[in-house]
Structure 1
Amino acid sequence: MSNETPSFDAFKLNRQLLEAITAAGYKAPTPIQQKAIPLALAGHDVLGIAQTGTGKTAAYILPLLMKVKYAQGMHPKALILAPTRELAMQIEEVAIQMAENTDLRIVCLYGGLGPKTQIELIEAGVDIIISTTGRFLDLYKKGKIFTKEIKTMILDEADKMMDMGFMPQIRNILEIIPVKRQNLLFSATFSDRVEKLASEFLEFPERVEVTPSATTAETIAQVKYLVPNIRTKINLLGELLKQEEIARAIVFTRSRKNAEEVYAYLKNRVEGEVRVIHANKGQNTRINSIDDFKSGDVRLLVATDVASRGLDVTLVSHVINFDVPLIYEDYVHRIGRTGRAEHEGKAITFVNPAEAYHFQRIEELIRMEVPELEIPAQVDVPETPFAERQAYARELDHLMQRDNPDYKGAFHDKKERKKPNLFKEKAKEEKKRGNKNSKAKTNRNQLKTKHQKNKGK
């Protein structure tokens, strides 16, 4: 291939797809599209490694639509599996956009909603199913999905599927679809578990890697703040939202509890609409919040990692990691929500003393040291409560002991005290008393003997 960037015309796609590509505003294929589309069109199994925001969804959707071409029969010809409903919905959006000029029937299946409507869509006839693993298996067991005509299977975000423990479900699905098929697997990172899945799932795959595994996009400026406690995190967040030119931002937290607390703090203190999404929120609430965020009606979205994938919003100016993710690859996915489609973005991470350990591992993963910024002088930095300091110390001990079983920990007394043996202690006391009694008895006998001698004289 020449150094000149090819156009989509070079892939010999049909007129309907080329018109949809133009209508969507795609000007030239991205690197992952340049490499993956020709291989997929040629019928190869493909292993694609690329970070989020690089156009990998279109890299498999376009050749799939070219292969299926038009509606035929009642049963699916292709299956796309995604780890989360948000990502499944995002894939559906791209698929429908690219298939606009065709009569292809695309159905998206996911949990959180009753299956009745989804079953009705399947029974009306379907060509391509986009689904989470759990909902697909549920409807298959109900006898609503027939798999014998599936000729293409695609796994998106395979690394996240491994992290979420979906391997058994994937194996179950592989057992009920035809062995003779084309397979495509896409992932932002290439861990040992993904490599094992690829060896089971793909046959003589063509590997496409546009950047080294777990590389962050060059369009994202990354910075970190070392923050002593959670109260300072809250104060720093409030100050940055005043200082930074934040048009649209996502604030990621590690837990639902933190998400709700951050939301409660922000909703009455910052300009613009604020929403929160996490696993405890109803499906409709989450969908509405994401749609409003995409449309620009919501300025700030507070979210757990449930939203770190499947959120394709072009103009997200900032991603703020209020908490450092414990699954290190999730850092790549989180910050991949900004800097998309060649727009510039900024990723800011707050790192407390215990999280410093995790963030160092993240820097090793992404092969770069993230620049550190000083906390602005106007930010109130309260003293860390004793209980919070103890919690950080215990967590660090746990992490260090996990890496080094011989590590004794901050709470370990170097002169290790043995627990007293009560039986031995009692014996010692008795022996001591016995010695005292024996000595006293000896002294009495000596005095008695001496007295008798004197009396005899």
Structure 2
Amino acid sequence: MKKTFEELKIAKSILKSLDDIGFVSPTPIQEHAIPKINSGVNIVGVAQTGTGKTAAYLLPLLTRLKKPEGTDPRVLILVPTRELSIQVGEDIAELTSYSELRHASVFGGIGWTKHAALLEQGVDVLVATPGRLMDLYRSGALTLKKVKYLVIDEADRMLDMGFMPQLRQLQEIIPVKRQNLLFSATFSEEIEKLSEEFLDHYEKLEIAPSATPVKQVTQTAYMVPNYRTKLNLIKYLLEDEEKFTRVVIFVKTKEHAEGVFKVVERKAEGEKRILHSNKAQNSRINAIQAFKNGEIRILITTDVSARGMDVSQVSHVINFDLPNDYDDYIHRIGRTARAGNTGDAITLIDPSDEWHWAKIQQLIRTSIDLLPLPDAVEVSETEFDENQQQLREIDRQRKIDDPTFQGAFHQKKKRTGSKRSFDDKFARTKVRGKTKKRR
């Protein structure tokens, strides 16, 4: 029988906050993790994004802190990105609305002195990115001798972003006697090694098999021959304002982000924003907050925002490009179907993506339905340069699968009038000056 938050021994002040927020009952990761955390053991929690794992560690830790004490943090929560640092800070603020517990979120991108001033009044819970944490520690603005609980959140992303040296440095400066909690969407060999290095003895909680998408996400895909046709398909899909109410479009590069934004800005209704590494931090934070508040219908972003964006009413995630890291597919589609809602994830696949797409489906142990391109979507010719890039990538993939493969693509080979095999799927005739598929 499902337990209540009261039965999980959550503090009364936090129960009042949960009631205000509208949290009625624990999610599976919360129901399993909270008793373990209360017992004092080290845990590794493997759960998909959107399953409530942030509250799974915040609820018992905030309960155990009880009241403010001293000036140095007793809970240290490490996160990989500034967006996630801000999001976890907002979650803490909501959960402690009837408590006097103090917290702060610190991250790179702004002067460390501002964060140092924030810590002067004292904090009980500190949420930090590894780089900014070490900045504050080295400057003498922060001491970590009172840390009793260490949380490493989004551990797989931590490793992807190269934070292992900072994590090892941290190991040297925080108390040995502490409780360690590590959370990850996947449990790879690297995560297992990290767990053994940081957690010594631990219990593993795996609510769903590693790298499994949230069940409430409906996943579909389209085979699309080229970049221009992808833009045409995006334009077509977003015309349905009643269905596509709040959409995140993920792209691989800032150039693609700008290209998609130009089309969406002209052709789709509703407010739109764009996020990538060239955007100022305040611009990125403001855009995410406006999207969360429902002021923006369409958010176009690189993977800089794939994590730490907790928006409960995202109707669709569209993967305009596949991610470089297959695990990021899980985190991308986890932006929808949050807090018990349902959602849709749509992926656009060009010829050079087919090999990667097969591996993503293998990773998540799911076969995803391919939908035919709608008749109303114009199928554009693949430009010569793009076609060459696709062929080079396909050659590279074949060489990985078969090291003896000599390569079918030749740099100096002249372009012929023959159609490529993938384009054969999109044979077309000219009718009244428009490009249409031949039936």
Q: Which residue of 2 aligns with 1:417?
A: none
Pairing 1:15-414 to 2, within 5 Å after superposition: 15-243=12-240, 245-411=243-409
Alpha-carbon distance in structure 2 between the residues aligned to 1:290 and 1:130: 19
For the 8 Å contact 2:4–2:26, the answer to whether it is kept is yes
Q: After alignment, is 107-116 or 248-257 more displaced?
A: 107-116
- How much is the aligned-residue C-alpha RMSD, in angstroms? 1.2
For the 8 Å contact 2:43–2:180, the answer to whether it is kept is yes
Work out the number of aligned pairs and report it: 410
Q: After alignment, is 383-392 or 297-306 more displaced?
A: 383-392
Alpha-carbon distance in structure 2 between the residues aligned to 1:102 and 1:341: 24
Per the TM alignment, residue 412 of structure 1 is displaced from its structure 2 partner at its CA by 6.2
One-letter identity of the residue aligned with 1:203: D
5+ residue gaps in structure 2?
412-439
One-letter identity of the residue aligned with 1:286: R
Specify the SS of the correspondent of 1:372.
strand
1:345-364 Cα distance to aligned partner (Å, 9 max, x none): 00000001111111111000
Q: Which residue of 1 aligns with 2:421?
A: none
More helix by share: 1
For the 8 Å contact 1:326–1:358, the answer to whether it is kept is no
Specify the SS of the correspondent of 2:61.
helix
Per the TM alignment, residue 383 of structure 1 is displaced from its structure 2 partner at its CA by 1.4
Per the TM alignment, residue 310 of structure 1 is displaced from its structure 2 partner at its CA by 0.6
Per the TM alignment, residue 100 of structure 1 is displaced from its structure 2 partner at its CA by 1.5
One-letter identity of the residue aligned with 1:66: T
Q: Which of 1 and 2 has greater Rg?
A: 1
For the 8 Å contact 1:254–1:323, the answer to whether it is kept is yes
For the 8 Å contact 1:40–1:46, the answer to whether it is kept is yes
One-letter identity of the residue aligned with 1:223: T
Alpha-carbon distance in structure 1 between the residues aligned to 2:383 and 2:266: 26
Alpha-carbon distance in structure 2 between the residues aligned to 1:25 and 1:146: 36
5+ residue gaps in structure 1?
414-457
Specify the SS of the correspondent of 1:327.
coil
Alpha-carbon distance in structure 2 between the residues aligned to 1:262 and 1:274: 11
Alpha-carbon distance in structure 2 between the residues aligned to 1:12 and 1:5: 14
Specify the SS of the correspondent of 1:286.
helix
Specify the SS of the correspondent of 2:194.
helix
Alpha-carbon distance in structure 2 between the residues aligned to 1:353 and 1:191: 28
Specify the SS of the correspondent of 1:224.
strand
Alpha-carbon distance in structure 1 between the residues aligned to 2:121 and 2:398: 57
For the 8 Å contact 1:48–1:209, the answer to whether it is kept is yes
Alpha-carbon distance in structure 1 between the residues aligned to 2:140 and 2:329: 39
1:293-334 Cα distance to aligned partner (Å, 9 max, x none): 111110000000011111110000000000011200100000
Alpha-carbon distance in structure 2 between the residues aligned to 1:159 and 1:399: 25
Alpha-carbon distance in structure 1 between the residues aligned to 2:10 and 2:213: 30
Per the TM alignment, residue 402 of structure 1 is displaced from its structure 2 partner at its CA by 2.8
Q: Which residue of 1 aligns with 2:10?
A: 13
One-letter identity of the residue aligned with 2:231: I
One-letter identity of the residue aligned with 1:12: K
Q: TM-score, normalised by structure 1?
A: 0.88
Alpha-carbon distance in structure 2 between the residues aligned to 1:77 and 1:221: 41
Alpha-carbon distance in structure 1 between the residues aligned to 2:247 and 2:383: 30
Per the TM alignment, residue 117 of structure 1 is displaced from its structure 2 partner at its CA by 2.2
Per the TM alignment, residue 399 of structure 1 is displaced from its structure 2 partner at its CA by 2.3
